[in-house]
Structure 1
Amino acid sequence: MSLPTVVFLDRATIPRHIHLPALTFSHRWQEFDTTAPEQVVERLQDAEIVITNKVVLSAEILAQLPNLRLVAVSATGVNNVDVDYCRIHNIAVCNVQGYATRSVPEHVVAMMFALRRNLMGYHHDIAAGEWQRNKQFCFFTHSIGDIAGSTLGLIGGGALGQATAALARALGMQVLFAEHKGQAECRAGYTPFEQVLREADVLSLHCPLTEQTRNLIAQPELTCMKPTAILINTGRGGLVDETALVDALKQRTIAGAGVDVFTQEPADINNPLIANMDLPNLLLTPHVAWGSDSAIQQLANILIDNIEAYAAGKQQNRIV
């Protein structure tokens, strides 16, 4: 009996300094740093198990892979996999959950402090010689706000939202969880969506991207927010209308924004946020909120453990 073949299509999504545990069962291992769409079918012809982070496995591609039995997604989101096709054709799908409950909240808090205290603005002013022109021991070209005593609005009450709430409360913030947009009645512990928009000093997004949440925050929602408010998105790029956000920042409809995720990744120079990244109230990072060393190591451990569980006939972190 031939050994099962395991293929990792985008190994470069896990940094080389992170230890990827070895599978304990007998198998053939193949890995590729990156895989272009036209290479997927060829590389998976003999595969029983595929590991993917962002490589798309559509129904058209999956239909050409008769040996495939498990799709192990090395991330939480599975929108790159046609889950319905897998369900119909008895292909198991598992993902990695709960690995970034320290990393993402800390990134949110870091962005929150940087924007509220205008750290980038002061850094750039020093570089431009503003300190020397002022001839004082300090200077105040940007307002500096406190985090303690302010209100954090959270859209998304899952593990990441809850972990962010815990950090915020430790900093002395009041926390409001937003009910689903358009929902007439609120669940216990939730506040009407529009009320959260109006009251939040910082609004942080932690919900999945679906057809219902696409452009969840657009011009009408940004207009509802305080002019002193900050928007932080470490969820998914499509949650925010990027053009509307840039307009709101330029017009000072809101005070600032921290963005870690984009509608298309990598974002090119035509992306409205990239094209306006010199705005003093806009902080961009390249989808790295999840990526502390400890979080990625946890991801790698869970990923391999998911595959081990499948090989042992167990269900773990299964989507299908």
Structure 2
Amino acid sequence: MNIVILDGYLVNPGDLSWGKISELGNLKVYDITPKELVAERVKNADIILLNNSIVAKEAIEKANNLKYISMLATGYDNVDVEECKKRRIKISNIPSYGTDTVAQFTFALLLEVCNNVKIHSDAVFSGDYTYSDKYGLPLKKQYELSGKTIGIIGYGNIGKKVGEIAKAFGMKVLAYRGENKGKIYDEEVSLEYLLENSDVISLHAKLTEENAEIINTKTISKMKNGVIIINVARGGLIVEEDLKEALNSGKILGAGIDVITTEPIQKDNILLKANNLIITPHIAWTTREARQRIIDIAADNIRGYINGKYINTIN
């Protein structure tokens, strides 16, 4: 059984072990696989594992032995699922590995927007506070979360965890799962109600045709003045030009995002010209604990496949 990992560096940059997976077959690990090398590296594989490498139709067509794909992530929009279905190639993903980690990072971004801790720390280390004639040096306004309303778009495991933490801060929680889904949580409201009544809007939805670019000029216009936007889900949920304009006009008070439409970010990305914006390089999921869970669950997925018991399959 030939097992190939296309982008192992993302999950395991060297501080973890692939041992649980190497026990299951002949394992070959590539730290990074450029798009043009995917077909060559998977052509003799029975099983492939990947995080964000793109496995397109052309690569799948050339992989004559490929029977199973185990994602090293929850999302799988970078794999041609339809082509896998035609060829009866099973795909599994890694659910719930990063619930606590990503929820924690959500509030790291939100608290930085509200409290600007780094700017004020820099003022201390630079000497600005030492030589100030003021007791305290508030460089930017501070914003209290207690009593505010957070609107959570995408109310799966991570979204619900964010809601739990928000309530501990004294916030009211509104949630949106989609207009065509039956209401099963007390917090659930329509998208329009959420937009109009939230002080903070946090994105935790999968990227689908229905919610692509859900944050745009039209939806922003329905939001409160001075709203805060957080996105740790997918860059494609936001129209970046519209976010920049709303930040620069002051309609949106501030934003913290860990994902953008094209990654890594390009030097001409419009968001680099936005005010009051924090951008992190897609790291919300990368605690050691979360990455270890990815490896453990992936090993269980593969073992289940070998034994004819499919686990966490999406097709």
Instruction: Specify the TM-score bucket, using the shorter chain as the normaliser.
Output: over 0.9
The TM-score with structure 1 as length reference comes to 0.91
- 2:112 matched to 1:117? no
Structure 1 unaligned residues grouped into runs of 5+: none
1:105 & 1:125 partners in 2: Cα distance?
A: 29
For the aligned residue pairs, the C-alpha RMSD in angstroms reads: 2.0
* Conservation of the 8 A alpha-carbon contact between 1:20 and 1:301: no
Q: Which amino acid aligns with 1:199?
A: N
- 2:287 matched to 1:292? yes
2:130 & 2:21 partners in 1: Cα distance?
A: 60
Please point out which of 233, 236, 239 is paired with 2:234: 236
Residue-by-residue CA offset, 1:50-97 (whole Å, 9 max, x unaligned): 111111111222111111000111111111111111112111111111
Residue-by-residue CA offset, 1:269-304 (whole Å, 9 max, x unaligned): 11122x226x3x211111111111111111111111
* Conservation of the 8 A alpha-carbon contact between 1:203 and 1:231: yes
> 2:202 maps to what in 1?
204
The TM-score with structure 2 as length reference comes to 0.93
Indicate how the Cα distance of structure 1 residues 135 and 215 shifts in structure 2: closer, same or farther if over 3 A, else same.
Answer: same
Count of aligned residue pairs for this structure pair:
312
Residue-by-residue CA offset, 1:243-283 (whole Å, 9 max, x unaligned): 1111111111111000000101111111122x226x3x211
> 1:63 maps to what in 2?
61
> 2:4 maps to what in 1?
7
> 1:314 maps to what in 2?
309
Residue-by-residue CA offset, 1:136-156 (whole Å, 9 max, x unaligned): 111333221111221111000
4+ aligned runs moved over 6 Å, structure 1: none
* Conservation of the 8 A alpha-carbon contact between 2:20 and 2:296: no
> 1:221 maps to what in 2?
219
**SS of equivalent to 2:39:** helix
Counterpart mapping for 1:88-107 below 5 A: 88-107=86-105
1:140 & 1:42 partners in 2: Cα distance?
A: 56
**SS of equivalent to 2:62:** coil
2:173 & 2:98 partners in 1: Cα distance?
A: 20
* Structure 1 residue 233 displacement after superposition: 0.2
* Structure 1 residue 187 displacement after superposition: 2.0
Indicate how the Cα distance of structure 1 residues 123 and 272 shifts in structure 2: closer, same or farther if over 3 A, else same.
Answer: farther
Q: Which amino acid aligns with 1:287?
A: H
1:11 & 1:37 partners in 2: Cα distance?
A: 15
2:251 & 2:123 partners in 1: Cα distance?
A: 23
Q: Which amino acid aligns with 2:32?
A: T
1:221 & 1:27 partners in 2: Cα distance?
A: 50
**SS of equivalent to 1:255:** strand
Q: Percent identity?
A: 31
- 2:83 matched to 1:85? yes
* Structure 1 residue 34 displacement after superposition: 1.0
Residue-by-residue CA offset, 1:138-193 (whole Å, 9 max, x unaligned): 1333221111221111000111111111111122111000253xx38972431121
**SS of equivalent to 2:293:** helix
Residue-by-residue CA offset, 1:109-136 (whole Å, 9 max, x unaligned): 1111111123244345556765366411
1:166 & 1:257 partners in 2: Cα distance?
A: 21
